[in-house]
Structure formats: structure tokens, C-alpha cells
Structure 1
Amino acid sequence: MPTRVSGLVSGMDTESLVSAMVSSYTAKVDKYTKQQTKLSWTQEAWKGLNTKVYGLYTSISGLRFSSGYSLQKASVSDVTKAKVTANGSAVNGTQKLNIIASAQTAYMTSADLSKKYSGTIDSKTELSKLGYDVKDEDGKPVAAKINITTKDEDGNDKTTELSLSGNSTVKDLLDGLQKAGINANYDATNHRFYLNSKKTGTEGDFSVTAAPGDENADALLAAIGLNTQPEGAEESDTTNYATMVKGVDAKIRLNGVLYTGNSNTFNINGLTIEALGVTGDGDENAITVNTQTDTQGLYDKIKDFLSQYNSVINEITKLYNAESSSGYEPLTDDEKDAMNETEIEKWETKIKDSLLRRDSTLSGVMQSMMSAMSGTFTVNGTKVSLASYGIQTLGILNSAKNEQNAYHIDGDEEDENTSGRKDKLMTALSANPDEVVDFMKQLTTKLYDAIGEKMTATELSSAYTIYNDKQMTKQYGDYTSIIKQWEKKVTDKEDFYYQKFAKMEAKLSELQSQTSSLTGILG
């Protein structure tokens, strides 16, 4: 807005006069700005609620199918020998299990290097200090080659050649072993290299040997302590020679059938069995695995569903029954200047809390959800509802404010309203879990479809949206255009009146000049 200097001759407060003269136009700007602000707040309120409703919608999607309730639990008679878990495909009953052997990783421990070198050995130590210091006629270090043999993905031998000289360091050796597929490190406390396979079982077997035809390879292996004791030795010498332990496959017998694997974990017919200790073979050494329906797990799944539903329906009920904010409108900048921050926040919160009060779209969503939850379904020829399992609302007289549509489970120890009642849900789950699951599948399907219908895309709304977001976006844009039009009208009228006052000031200035001249002539 340009800076205007006016009223210098007339002495009038031109700005106040012009402001008053265009007040009908600025009132229009304020009116539409407030409406746009209120619409923006309404969009935010709907967006937040829509996120919660969509979250409920997606979470109950899986509850429409049996797989959503496939909860089994397994127990084992000796937890020191095996750990067993069950998934939904596991068969209820008792089974015999033998842990014949647990999987072991292949290991190689070097000779004691303190016998070869009395100094400190670290990653920078050269192999010449450990005893490999072969040089040619010119005094240059001669490299020796060793082979590291491991298993590839198909179980075939894979050999990697590692070349080292006296100038090579302990780090060079460790890096080469790692690249060849072997975990390796040096323990300075015990003065030994420790090698182990990256795989358990026989698939992880490896070897470190002299490369064929390399006359210096044996000397290199001896220097780094990875030489193995000659065959036929009467006693094991772990001080001067490396010790090799081969990998061992795990073996278990379940119901008389033998299973072998390179891991201690077996997945068999819905059971995940982790071998922890050896029992021995034979029926006399067998431990038992008992599998049954996890009724507590089913109970918790149903309770979690109800908790999420209650959270959403309570929010909807609160928004729908909000107190009226009649007489409250978004504040203009001038109105905010007359209030402190606390007063502004309280004023705006009053409006925001009431934005969806008695909203017809919100009412439709609420009624659809409540209707689905109160439905009756046929299970094994019998009509059942949530109330059949002791799940019901408390009613408006017995519930907290805006929680009259929430469901409570009779006998729920965590619910002070119903904890003293008989637990029908757990009784039903214990007696016949399949019937309860059948009912829950039908109930959640109806609720899922009811919410899905409200989220159907239309010309006024986007997909998975329960309110007319497209319509509101268009309305917001329309307000922007209208506000700009009225702001231009304000500016045009201000310019018009300022021009009029400027002309008046010019005439007054001219008259004042003529009067001064006449006065001077008449003396």
C-alpha cells in the first residue's frame, strides 16, 4: 500500500475518513477471510479423523479371514533341550521330540604364537617377526601361497589363494581370511588366531592348507600357527599346532521321523523347533511338545480390535456432540491485537472443537459403524451378537461423557466398569474358539464394508476419504478468489477517495494562497 500524506491543509484525518468510507468493502474481506479460515480448520479436523478411521479400516482388513485369528501356542516338557513355537497351521495335540545332535560351527584355533615371538603382536606386526622371513638372492621377500577352502551356495568346494610374504602384516592375513569367507581375529591375551565359519553345520566346513607345489607354504603356515599336527601323532599338541573342529549338522527326530539341517532351527508343519541341548535318541529319551489354541492370544486380539474401535467411535461421538460455539468467529488481525495469546488460543479452541458438531456426514459415518457393530450373525445355526459373548456398551447413563457407544468386555480385569462380571468371552474361546472366530469374521467384514462404503471415491471426495475433501478444496479456492476480488475493490475505492481528498487539499491550498495574497494587497 503506498504511503499517502494528506490533510496537511484541511487538518482532517483523511485516513480515518477513507477507512470509514470503505468499511463496507473491508467488512466483506473480513467476512470471507473468516469463512476461509474456518473452512481450513474444518479440513484439518476431518483429515485428523479420517486418518484414525482409515487406520481402523486397514487394521480390521485381516480380521475378515481365518488367517487373522490363527493363533497357536506350543509348550515343551523340557525347556532346557528345546524351544518350540507354533503358527496357525500347527496341529493341536502332543508330539514326541528327540534332539540327537545340535548344530556346531567349524572352528580353527592357531598354535600359541608366544612360543614363536616374545614381543607384542598386533595388526601391524610383520610376519617376518613370527618366523616367516624367506628372501631371494637379492634379499627381497619371497611370498608363499596358502589355500582357504570353503563351501559355496551349492555346497561345492571353493578355494581362495592367499599370498603373503615376510613384509605382510597380521592385518593382511586377517583381511585375506575374511575375504575368503572365514571369520578371523587375533587374541593378544592368548596369543592365538581364531578362525570360524560364517555358517553352522557341515556347510561351514573349511580348511587352511599349503598351496600345492609352493615349497615355502608350510613354513608360512608354521609361522602363523595354522599348521596342523601330522597324522599319527600320539598326543594332541595344541601349543605348537593348530586345532581344527569340524562343523556338525543338527539332527532331531519328531514323531519318529529324522530331520537334519545345518541350523539348530527347524520349521516342521507349523512348528518352529530350536534345538538347545541333546536328549539322545529313542522313545525313552524323547520329550513332549504340546500344541493348542492360544485362547489368551485370541482374547487379546479381540480386545485390541475393540480398543481401536472404541478410540475412533469415542472421537466421533465427541466431535458430533461438541458444545456450540455460536457467536464465535475466527479473529481478524486487529481483533487479535486486542487480546493476549492465552485469550486467542481459548477463543480459537472453542471454534475448532465445535466444527463438526451435528455434522450430517459425521452422523452417517457414526451410524454406519454402530449399526455394523450391533449386528446379529448366524454361527452354527444360532443367532449371536457381541452381547452373546458379554461384549456391550454401558449406555449413556453409565458411561463417561461421549463414551456411550464404546464396547466393554465382561470380566476384563483392566476395565473397572465390567471386571466383576462373568467372563463370557474367555469361556466361549476356551470351549469353542472356532465359533467365536466365525462370528468375528462376519462382524469385522460388515464393519469393514460399512466404512469402505463411506470411503468410496465420488466427485466430491477422494478414495479412502469419509468426507468431501474435493468439494472443500474447491471451496477454499473459491474463497481465495472472492477475497482477492474484494481486496481489489477496497484498494480501488481507497484510491478513488484519496484522489478526491487530494484534489480538495489542492483547492484549499490554492484558496489559502489567494487569500494570503489579497490580505497582503489590502494590507
Structure 2
Amino acid sequence: MRIGGLATGMDIDELVNKLMTAERIPLTKMQQDRTTLTWTRDAFRDVNLKLTELDNMFLDMKLSKTYHSKTISSSNENAISATATAGASNGTYKISVSELATSEMTIGGKIAIDPNEKLSDKGVKATHYTFTTYDKDGKPQEQGFDILPDDTLNTVLKRISEVDNNVRMFYDESSNRVVMETTRTGIYNTNGGSEVEFGGNDFFNEVLKLGTGNREKHVAAKNAVFTYNDNLEITSQNNNYTLNGITYNFKNTTTEPVLLTVDNDVDAAFDNIKNFVDKYNEVIDKLNGSQREEKYRNYKPLTDEQKKEMSEKEIELWEEKAKSGLLKGESIITNGMFSLRQSWYANVNADGKYKSITDIGITTTKSYLDGGKLEIDEKKLKEALREDPESVRKLFSNDEKGDNRGIVNRVQDSLSTIKSSIEDRAGNTYKTEENYTLGKRLKDLNKRISDFEKRLTNVETRYWNQFTAMEKAIQRMNEQSSYLTSQFSS
């Protein structure tokens, strides 16, 4: 604690503070510069986040299904529905279903076992048991499980069901019966027997009463049977089947053929392209907006002292202007926008009907202030997708170099260059300050601020020492004056 002015009556603390205010002017300027650099870095990173959103759409825009979407209508949706890949041929297909695929189910006879009591109390031996299922090639697969001394019927049935063996078992308390069923449809046992076999296993035959002489009911598995275009009969272990790029889903048997019509889904393809263009326009809004913001050079970042004298609303309005125009004139942004515009408008000399986006109804908006945003002639684009979707795909996603390179790939190339340049300038959350330009400047500025703060501490100490020395000198003079006065008066 420093107390001054005892000898002189001067407010030394106020004097030192005023002197230090002048000394701190360069520090305030450096702190404001640091805040501006931080804001600029964050503004660049915000741009990169928007670029990443567009970047995430490129994969879908390179897929054939984006442009070759198919729609399928069924004359009887309750019996058969279908989906189609991009390679499915347009046309009408006739399907008749005579049999649906079903799973196997065995309902055991009544048993006198409390499902929660120990099986060992009922004389069931605690040991390893097996049963047989069949794989997709019809080969027998031995399945095993253990019955432990403390096991109950419920714990054993749960243990069997939780294993990946295509079998589910449970106990029905209302009928006192065990139910065993396959979890898949279709016939896998090509020998004509059951899908689940347990031979002479007494646990299944006698305890659970699932054997031939003891069971209540047995329903064999069935394959689906359908006829394609009146002539080709096909069986399937599942109630769906893929043929020539079309997957048919069987829901019911039919009394007459169901007609399924495959056509280009122009609306879906249009929406895919429109969503991409909309996201691109958002990117252009972000880039162009940063160049059209007014730069208020008289609005510097506020110091802590200045903020104390302002309301929250005043601070908000001030900083809004202080942050405005931070990226204005940045060559990374202006060059990036130019590169993106070139990517869209360079001709694509691929083997297709369309060479330019204007051929399919995509153009820039009429206002130059929009910065190159795109607009779509819906009628013209849908017409192109309907007449030649493959040419539209090549125009957008042809994956070659040079003049044959598709628009999407060109835009991605430009976008990657912009993102890389921004990361070199402003880094990202994973980069340390030494690894990007603004970070190095911030690090250097932080060091200068730290050094200057140490210098200010020394300057303030020097001022206090000087004023203290002055106080001591005046105190001595006062003491001498008092002594002389007392001598003359005696």
C-alpha cells in the first residue's frame, strides 16, 4: 500500500494514475489490435464452417442415384411394393405371388414347471445341450448351450434366444407351453426336415415337450413363390427379391398379376440439385456479405474501462460496428468467389448432351450485387432430367481431369483451395498458434503486451519512487524550517 502527499498535501495517487494513463496508450492500442486479430480469425473460421456445410454435400452429388432417382407405382400396394436402383430400366413389370415366405413355429405340449424355479429341482441335469439349425447353403450347424445348477426355465430360454442362431424361444404362462420359432423366413433345410432339429435330446423332447409325440402344433417354414412377367417362376426365402435393379416386397398373395411401373423420379432428382444450389447460394451470401459490409474505422474494440461506462445495449451496438468489415478486401475471399464462379461456368466437354449449366436452366441472378448466386429454371431443369438424366449426371459429376471434369468436382476443387488458404491464415480448433499466420501474429502480440506490462510496472514504481523522494526532501525542509523558527523565537 502506498500513501503519498503527507508532506506536500498533493494527491500523489491521482498524479501517478494520470501519468500512467498516458504511458498505457500504446498498451491499449496493442490490446485493441489483439482483439481485432481474434475477431478476424473467428470471422475466417465462420466462413470455413459454411464452406464445410457445402463440402458435406459433394459425395451425394457425385452418386448416380442423385440424378437417376426412380419412382415405382404399384397397382396393388397392399400386395406388392417395390424400390429401384438408378440402374433399373423404365417400364412396366407384372408380378404374381402364390406363396409368402413364413418362419417355422413349434408349440410344445403343456408342462408342469414353474418358469422361475430351478430346473435342477425338476431333475434336469446341469450340462451342455445341443440342437441343429441350417445355414444359407443348407449345411447343418450345431448350436450349443449350457444349463447351470441355478438356472430356471426362463433363464435358459433367454440364453438360447440371445445367441445369434436364428431361433427364438419363450414360455407362455397362460397356456403353460414353450414356443420355439425361427427368426427368419424360408426353407434352409433342403432335406425336407424341420428348420430346428434336436434328435433324441430329452430336454427338448420330454422337458419342454417340443418333440413329435408331445408337441401341440408344428408349422413348417415356407419359401415365397412368385411369377415374373407371366413366365419366370422364382422362389425366395424372404418376402423380398431383387431382380434387374428392382427390389420387390411381398405383403400378400395375389389373385391376379400386380403391375409395377418404373419411371424416372424427376422431382427427387430436381430436389437434390436444388438443395445443392441453395447451399451454394448460402456460401455465396456469406462470402459476398463479408465484402459488402461497411468498415467503421473509428470504432475500435472497447477497453474494459470503456465498457464500465456503457450499457450492455451500447456495448452490443458498438461492437457490431467494430466487427463490421473485418474481412473486406481479403484476397482469399475475393479470389475464392471468382474461382467458384469459373467452376460453374466453364464448359464440361464430357460425352453428354449438355455442356453448360445454362443448357439445363441454371444461371446467375440478374443483380451483380448478389455476388454470383444461382437461380434455377425449374421447367427447363426438370425437362433435362426427364429427357437425359445421364447427361445431367455427367455435366455435374464426371470424374475426370481437364475440360471433361464435372461441375461438382470443379466446385469442390475450388472450395478445397479456399478452405486450405483460410486454414493457413486463421487455423482451426486443432491447430496451435504457431501453425497459422494470424496465430503467429497473436502470439507475437501477446509477448509484446506482456513485456510492455512489465515495463509499465517498472515505470509506475519509478514514478512512486520519485514522488516519495520529493516527499522526503520536502519533509526534511519542513523540519529544518520548524527548527530555525523555534530558534529565532526563543
TM-score range, shorter chain: 0.7 to 0.9
C-alpha displacement at 1:196, in angstroms?
1.7
Q: 3-state SS of the aligned residue for 1:329?
A: coil
Structure 1 equivalent of residue 197 of structure 2:
207
260, 263, 273: which is aligned to 2:238? 263
The equivalent of 1:226 in structure 2 is: 210
Flag the 1:65–1:462 CA change in 2: closer, same or farther, 3 A.
farther
Choose which of 157, 163, 169 in structure 2 pairs with 1:174. 157
- 8 Å contact kept, 2:154–2:170: no
Matched length: 468
More divergent stretch after superposition (352-361 vs 448-457): 448-457
Instruction: Give, in whole Å, the separation in 2 of the partners of 1:4 and 1:460.
Output: 49
| Counterpart mapping for 1:315-354 below 5 A | 315-354=286-325
Counterpart of 1:9 in 2: which secondary structure? coil
Change in Cα spacing, 1:360 to 1:157, as seen in structure 2 (3 Å) is: closer
Please, what TM-score do these two structures have when normalized by structure 1? Answer: 0.78
User: Structure 1 regions of 5+ residues with no counterpart?
Assistant: 135-140, 212-216, 231-240, 412-422
Equivalent residue letter for 2:46:
G
One-letter identity of the residue aligned with 1:195: M
Separation in structure 2 between the aligned mates of residue 464 and residue 91 of structure 1, nearest angstrom: 47
In the alignment, residue 475 of structure 2 is paired with which amino acid?
A: S
1:427 aligned partner: 383
Aligned-pair distance for 1:49?
0.6
Query: Aligned AA for 2:375?
Result: H
Q: 2:377 aligns with which of 387, 406, 410?
A: 410
Deviation at 1:159, TM superposition (A): 4.4
Q: 2:81 aligns with which of 57, 79, 83?
A: 83
Counterpart contact for 1:376–1:384, Cα < 8 Å: yes
Q: Residues 515 and 261 of structure 1: is their aligned pair in 2 closer, same or farther, counting only changes over 3 Å?
A: farther
Q: 245, 268, 273: which is aligned to 2:248?
A: 273
C-alpha separation in 1, matches of 2:159 and 2:59: 52
Indicate the residue corresponding to 1:454 in structure 2: 418
Q: Which is helix-richer, 1 or 2?
A: 2
Contact 1:93 1:292 in 2 (8 A): yes
Match in the other structure for 2:400: none
Residue type matched to 1:206 in 2? V
Identify the match of residue 512 of structure 1 among 472, 478, 482: 478
User: What amino acid is the match of 2:414?
Assistant: A
Q: What pairs up with 1:440-451 in 2 under 5 angstroms?
A: 440-441=396-397, 442-451=406-415
Partner of 1:233: none
TM-score by length of 2: 0.83
Correspondence for 1:193: 178
- SS of 1:196's equivalent in the other structure is strand
CA distance in 2, matches of 1:406, 1:494: 58
Q: Distance in 1 between matches of 2:344 and 2:484?
A: 96
The one of 395, 398, 401 equivalent to 1:439 is: 395
Check 1:206–1:380 CA distance in 2 against 1; reply closer, same or farther (3 A cut).
closer
| Alignment partners' CA distance in 2, 1:153 and 1:514 | 116
CA deviation digits over 1:400-436, x for unaligned, max 9?
xx6463222235xxxxxxxxxxx22212222232333
Deviations 1:178-229 (A, max 9, x none): 3664322223334332222233323482135543xxxxx37x8455443433
The Cα of 1:315 is off from its aligned counterpart by 1.5
Contact kept, 8 Å, 2:67 with 2:385, in 1: the verdict is no
1:445-485 alpha-carbon deviations (Å, 9 max, x no partner): 332233334345699558999xx982111111121122122
| CA spacing shift, 1:97–1:297, aligned 2, 3 Å | same
Unmatched 5+ stretches in structure 2: 190-194, 398-405
Tell me how far apart the structure 1 counterparts of residues 270 and 128 of structure 2 sit (CA, whole Å): 65
Q: CA deviation at 1:515?
A: 3.4
Q: State the distance in 2 between where 1:392 and 1:64 align.
A: 21
Q: 2:93 aligns with which of 69, 86, 95?
A: 95
CA distance in 2, matches of 1:194, 1:56: 54
Native 8 Å contact 2:32 2:301 kept in 1: yes
CA distance in 2, matches of 1:176, 1:31: 73
Counterpart of 1:184 in structure 2 is: 169
**Which residue in 2 is equivalent to 1:148?**
131
The match for 1:245 is 219
* TM-superposition CA deviations, 1:141-178 (whole Å, max 9, x none): 8669865333357632314366589x863324423533
Percent identity over paired residues? 25
| Conserved 8 A contact 1:57-1:448 | yes
Paired with 1:246 and 1:492, the residues of 2 have a C-alpha distance of: 95
